[in-house]
């Protein structure tokens, strides 16, 4: 990577909104090198007082739901109609997989990627979920300090990354296809209950009626869910990235949510809770990384795990033995 | 506590189905004393080959849903009509709270508690959720080795304990009251999606119609949920512990679930996955317990957590500092 700069140079560049410096700081955050990480932490701690002013929106949906097209359309709407500066980040620990990463192929967001008010950053390659979520969370801070006031964090709705995204955003938007049934295949159970809003995508041409029917069905289903801690009632709407319809409704849902939760104190409370959550999460991650990196543990874990799986050894006894190693 | 016996005496007593020895072994499992814990692990590892033969049923529902009354009726049904030997365990880390623990007050299961085919064990008092779940999981093993072939693990549907119970049972039953709406208050979001079946309780007298209506509503709602990994479609039924109706339907649901998942391999796969999950969980728990018990960490954590909450310090930087402490 490029030569390291002093923390002050990064901080000044970020606060001035310089995209090149921002990119280089994010690269530091994503680096595994201890010297980079230390520098990254200095930069983050210095810009931290300037962060926190964006609305953080998590967006998920299974492949095929039209996520990139939606973000392209919705992101452009936010910039054009709402005067936002937008950063789009991705949490995708499997971005190396064949079949294409969600943001690796930037051409899928052609107009956003050349929009001077947008900043698109793909998921760091070759990292574990823990690594990706940590760097994405810190990238949010850097982007906010650089003046971006809308952050979209994108994830695929098939893994464990939704919980991580949910823990770093203010508002969680689930994209769904019309016609309840088969297309639910792949959406992990529990994700629907995390959604602050569901948007039925591709509500255009011959899909319009189907999308409207799906909207009613989901709205009814959500009524049966337990109430949210925020006091917010999750909304369901339809949209078309092709015809640019329904984007204003989604934005209106988000602003109503922000008004409600800022007024009742939930917004601030959630942000503070998220901060704390990330502290404990970082500690846990680090303790586990150190433990599982021990050579003796690496040597004995596979056989031990097999014995536990097979019911030959109790989980707790195996854990005790492993913890006694080096 | 009573004098410790040799591991062999515990093992023989448990395998012979002796309830006094079983109780004493469970007390060992619940003990915090290292000598007790070591002995407990020896006993568990020796009885492990004789465990695993029960159907493990998790039952949850908010206070007021009639959980104790239901378990009393359903448990008696299992013994009387299905010839089961039944153990009822509880996961309730707050069993010390005023207002009564879910099983602490044994008189709430009057007939089960004196039934020679039933074994009721309240939640260990004064323990953290992690401590309770570990000992409950190990108690399942001891009870199975003692010949109990149906295990009910009870929990209140308001905390984080449902996820823990879900991770140790084969079948998860959610009890709900009729009349969707207010009574959902208190059920934590996400719990409905874990349910393999929902039973609407108190479907008797003037409640029958309301319960039937609720059944249809929930059944419709569940259709909109993503499919389960087991291939099982969660069932909704009504029951009355007062009139002893609907208990056979619930048991039939459970046996159908077992048939399906044993045939498609999911049952075995889930059990093995749960074993592994508990290994990693035990390791995590132990690493965190050791870390948070360090005097330096205890001294500095509160101020550090406050700074992170207030956004004055980044979570990762704070974690790094804490991890450097003795």
Going through B201-264 in order, the beta strands assigned E by DSSP cover 235-238
Does residue A275 belong to the interface with chain B, where contact is any CB pair within 8 Å? yes
Does residue A215 belong to the interface with chain B, where contact is any CB pair within 8 Å? no
pLDDT at position B95 is 42
Give the 3-state secondary structure of residue A17: coil
Partners of residue A45 in chain B, C-beta under 8 Å: 313-314, 317
Residue B104 pLDDT > 70: no
Report the largest interatomic distance among the alpha carbons of chain B, rounded to a whole angstrom. Answer: 65
CA distance B107 to chain A (A): 31
Beta strands across the sheet bearing A55-61:
A118-121, A86-91, A150-156, A55-61, A171-176, A197-200, A235-238
B276–A309: do the CB atoms touch at under 8 Å?
A: yes
Over range A39-47, report the average pLDDT: 93
Residue A91 pLDDT > 70: yes
Over range A57-83, report the average pLDDT: 92
Residue A292 pLDDT > 60: yes
Does residue B320 belong to the interface with chain A, where contact is any CB pair within 8 Å? yes
Q: What is the pLDDT of residues B146-203, one digit of tens each?
A: 999 999 999 875 567 888 899 999 999 999 888 645 445 456 667 788 899 999 999 9
CA distance B117 to chain A (A): 26
pLDDT at position A2 is 60
Query: 């969370």: which residue's tokens?
Result: A137
Contact A6, A41 (CB under 8 A): no
Residue A182 pLDDT > 50: no
Does residue A180 belong to the interface with chain B, where contact is any CB pair within 8 Å? yes
Going through B68-149 in order, the beta strands assigned E by DSSP cover 86-91, 118-121
Alpha helix (H) ranges present in A48-195? 67-82, 110-113, 129-145, 161-166, 191-194
Of B44, B228, B288, the CB nearest to A317: B44
* Structural tokens at position B220: 């419709």
pLDDT at position B222 is 77
Q: Which residues contact B220 (CB under 8 A, 6 or more apart)?
A: A220, A221
Does residue B296 belong to the interface with chain A, where contact is any CB pair within 8 Å? no
Contact B50, B62 (CB under 8 A): no
Mean pLDDT across chain B: 87
Q: What is the pLDDT of residues B222-245, one digit of tens each?
A: 777 777 889 999 999 999 999 999
CA distance A246 to A211: 12
H-helix or E-strand containing B233? none
Q: What is the pLDDT of residues B27-54, one digit of tens each?
A: 999 988 889 988 999 999 999 999 999 9
Over range A266-283, report the average pLDDT: 94
CA distances from B91 to B97, B136, B138, B158 (A): 14, 7, 12, 12
Q: What is the pLDDT of residues A116-146, one digit of tens each?
A: 999 999 877 767 777 788 889 999 999 999 9
Interface of B with A in 97-126 (CB under 8 A): none
pLDDT at position B179 is 64
Q: B172 pairs with which residues across the strands?
A: B58
Contact B137, B158 (CB under 8 A): no
Q: Which of A27-36, A42-51, A95-104, A264-273 has the lowest mean pLDDT?
A: A95-104
B277 vs A224, more confident: B277
pLDDT band at B299 (very low <50, low <70, confident <90, very high): very high
pLDDT at position A44 is 94
Q: What are phi and psi of B167, to 5 degrees?
A: -80, 0
Percent of chain A with pLDDT over 70: 89
* Structural tokens at position A47: 């810009």
Which of A139, A275, A305 has the most B C-beta neighbours within 10 Å, making it the best mutation to test the interface with B? A275
pLDDT at position A295 is 95
Over range A291-317, report the average pLDDT: 93
Contact A281, B315 (CB under 8 A): yes
Beta strands across the sheet bearing B171-176:
B118-121, B86-91, B150-156, B55-61, B171-176, B197-200, B235-238
pLDDT band at B268 (very low <50, low <70, confident <90, very high): very high
pTM of the complete model: 0.77
Of B192, B275, B305, the CB nearest to A308: B275
Chain A CA closest to residue B317: A41
Residue B302 pLDDT > 50: yes
Among A40, A204, A256, A248, smallest CA distance to A137 is for A40
């Amino acid at each position: 990577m490029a030569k390291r700069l002093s923390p002050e140079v990064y901080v000044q560049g970020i606060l001035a909104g310089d995209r090149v410096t921002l990119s280089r700081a994010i690269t530091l955050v994503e680096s595994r090198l201890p010297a980079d990480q230390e520098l990254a932490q200095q930069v983050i701690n210095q810009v931290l007082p300037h962060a926190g002013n964006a609305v953080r929106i998590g967006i998920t949906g299974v492949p095929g739901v039209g996520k990139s097209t939606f973000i392209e359309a919705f992101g452009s709407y936010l910039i054009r109609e709402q005067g936002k500066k937008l950063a789009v980040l991705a949490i995708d620990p499997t971005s190396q997989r064949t079949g294409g990463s969600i943001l690796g192929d930037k051409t899928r967001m052609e107009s956003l990627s050349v929009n001077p008010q947008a900043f698109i950053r793909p998921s760091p390659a070759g990292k574990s979920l823990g690594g990706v979520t940590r760097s994405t969370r810190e990238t949010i801070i850097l982007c906010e300090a650089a003046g971006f006031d809308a952050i979209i964090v994108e994830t695929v709705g098939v893994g464990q990354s939704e919980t991580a995204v949910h823990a770093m955003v203010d508002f969680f938007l689930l994209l769904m296809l019309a016609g309840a049934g088969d297309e639910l295949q792949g959406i992990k159970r529990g994700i629907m209950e995390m959604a602050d809003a569901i948007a039925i995508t591709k509500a255009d041409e011959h899909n319009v009626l189907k999308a409207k029917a799906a909207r009613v069905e989901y709205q009814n289903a959500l009524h049966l869910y337990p109430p949210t801690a925020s006091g917010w009632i999750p909304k369901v709407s339809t949209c078309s990235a092709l015809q640019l319809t329904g984007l204003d409704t989604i934005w209106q849902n988000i602003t109503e949510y922000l008004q409600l939760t800022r007024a009742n104190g939930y917004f601030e409370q959630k942000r503070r809770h998220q901060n704390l959550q990330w502290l404990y999460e970082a500690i846990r991650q680090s303790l586990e990384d150190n433990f599982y990196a021990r050579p003796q543990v690496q040597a004995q874990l596979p056989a031990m795990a097999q014995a536990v799986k097979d019911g030959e050894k109790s989980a707790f006894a195996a854990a005790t033995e492993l913890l006694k190693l080096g």
